[in-house]
Amino acid sequence: MKTGKVLIFSSITALTVALVMFIYLVNASQALSYLSTDPKACINCHVMNTQYATWQHSSHGRSATCVECHLPRDTVLNKYMAKARDGWNHSVAFTMNSYGQNLIISEDGANRVQANCISCHARLTKVIVSNAEKYHDFTGTTQAERKCWECHRDVPHGKARSLSTTPYNLGVRGQY
């Protein structure tokens, strides 16, 4: 065989192997499910089972999905950019096992959840903001700066604060 033919054959073989590995990884990680709004996509990784189980039995489980609370709802571009950023951060943390027993939402994630709380409950939040000066918490924090979950601590994930809060909630796995 000539050197040129060997090089072409090697290149095609390497490309084929890379393509097969890519397809395998997409399938094994259920990557396409993350393009959906189905909450079951959030439990592809076992780490989120507690959050899924507690959300599922909350009032929000009947009216809001994970995406509606945790991702931007203004534009499709912002939604998928946040999804990609969160997905990358989650996959790194879960692969490297660098997360703690208690999952902590990022500042960006908390701001998105806060904006979505206010958006969904706009009528109620208008009343709260208009009456903010009547409610003093004496910490120096104005009502407008507070997060909704400072008072509504159990919404929508109940008292779940760690990965082991609901140890027997694995019955929903394998739905995809």
Statement: residue 83 has pLDDT above 70: yes
What SS3 state is found at 136?
coil
Mean pLDDT of the chain: 82
Q: Give Cα 40 distance to the centre of its chain.
A: 11
Q: Please report, for the chain, the start and end positions of each structural domain, with discontinuous segments joined by +.
A: 36-172
Predicted confidence (pLDDT) per residue in 49-78, tens digit: 888 888 888 888 888 999 999 999 999 999
DSSP H stretches of helix in 29-173: 49-56, 66-70, 76-96, 107-120, 122-130
Predicted confidence (pLDDT) per residue in 118-130, tens digit: 999 999 888 877 7
Instruction: Place domain 36-172 in its CATH homologous superfamily.
Output: Di-heme elbow motif domain (1.10.3820.10)
> Residue 157 has what DSSP assignment?
T
- pLDDT of 171 reads 46
Statement: residue 169 has pLDDT above 90: no
Q: Is 138 left (phi over 0), alpha (psi -120 to 50) or beta?
A: left
10 Å Cβ neighbour count for 84? 11
